[in-house]
Amino acid sequence: MHRGPVSRPLQNRVTPSGDIVATPARGLMMGNRGGRIHTDAKTLGRARWRSKAWIICLLSFKDRRREVMASGYTELFFLDEATALAAGHRPCFECRRTDAIAFATLFPGPGRSRAAAMDQRLHSERLSPPERVPMDTLPDGALFEWMNAAWLRHQGRIFRWQSSRYTDSHPIAVDLVSALTPPATRSVLASGYRPKLHPSITP
The pairing of beta strand 143-146 with beta strand 90-91:
unpaired
What does the alpha-carbon distance between residue 96 and residue 30 come to, in Å, rounded to a whole number? 11
What does the DSSP assignment read for 2-19? ---PPP---EEEE-TTS-
pLDDT digits (tens), the chain, 203 positions: 334 444 689 999 999 999 999 998 879 999 999 999 999 999 999 999 999 999 999 998 887 778 889 888 999 999 999 999 999 999 999 999 999 999 999 999 988 999 999 999 999 999 999 999 999 999 999 999 998 999 999 999 999 999 999 998 888 878 899 999 999 999 999 999 999 999 999 76
- Taking the C-alpha atoms of residue 158 and residue 17, their distance in angstroms, rounded to an integer, is 17
Q: At residue 138, what are phi and psi to the nearest 5 degrees?
A: -80, 130
Read off the pTM. Answer: 0.93
Question: In 10 A of CB 110, how many CB atoms?
Answer: 5
Distance CA 73, CA 68 (A): 9
Q: Is the dihedral of CA 159, 119, 77, 48 positive or negative?
A: negative
